[in-house]
Amino acid sequence: MFKLMVVTDRKRVSRPLTETVRLALEGGADAVQLREGDLPTQELHHLALELRKITRDAGAKLIINQRADVALAVEADGVHLGWRSLSIKDVRELCPFGPEASGSRDGKKLLVGISCHDAMQLHSAEEARADYALLGPVFPTPSKEGRVAPIGLETFRTLASGAKIPIIAIGGITAQNAGQARQAGAAGVAAISAIVAAQDPRVAARSLLG
């Protein structure tokens, strides 16, 4: 599973988003989640195509947030869902790729991940056979302030230790606490501002990987 996922936010970047992603991948990030939900579909598709080339050249995974149609159009590696999205079951039916599916695309499985904030959501993700879960926010983060309270490191440890799917820590992840998240059971970490807002995303990615 992913060691370091870059979650995009073009409104926070210190340089062009595509350059930011390229540098982060050079620094060791192995997955990119394109999360720009306010973009018109044509612009999102164009950006996804650019990131598809960059991630493919780097041997990294490209995950599209919410938009299964865009993921299929650009041959992304997966779709990431929230709790107000289509269900995992719906996405699997819309995108019937995988070794066991008649619509298999060279045997490549379209990954389906989901964001979880508590034990009930994580259990539902496991029951629905999600490929991974982003669990958090682990630490305080401006992107969730006033909407979702941080679960804290100990709750994260408890949930990750009993999980049946890979757990990626998200929310307030920095170079100072990424190691703590891994020690608490995270298969990897996901970061937004720690990478996209960094002056040198390559150095930032290396720091997050320890």
Per-residue model confidence (pLDDT) at position 104: 40
- Residue 157 DSSP symbol: H
Residue 201 CA to residue 207 CA, distance in Å, equals: 10
Per-residue model confidence (pLDDT) at position 147: 74
Q: Among residues 109, 144, 182, 206, which one is catalytic? A: 144
* CA pseudo-torsion sign 40, 43, 45, 51: negative
Residue 103 — very low, low, confident or very high, per pLDDT cuts 50/70/90?
very low
| Catalytic status, residue 35 | yes
Residue 68 CA to residue 76 CA, distance in Å, equals: 9
Residue 86 CA to residue 149 CA, distance in Å, equals: 24
Give the C-alpha distances (Å, rounded to integers) separating 89 from 14, 85, 94: 38, 11, 9
**CATH of span 4-209:** 3.20.20.70
Per domain, the residue ranges of the chain are 4-209
Tokens read off for 13: 């970047």
Asked if 116 and 150 count as a contact pair (C-beta separation under 8 A), the reply is no
Residue 64 — very low, low, confident or very high, per pLDDT cuts 50/70/90?
very high
The pLDDT tens digits of the residues spanning 129-186 come to: 999 999 999 999 876 555 789 999 999 999 999 999 999 999 999 999 999 999 999 9
Q: Among residues 35, 61, 67, 202, which one is catalytic? A: 35
| Catalytic status, residue 61 | no
- What is the average pLDDT value for the chain, to the nearest integer? 92
| Catalytic status, residue 115 | yes
Per-residue model confidence (pLDDT) at position 92: 87
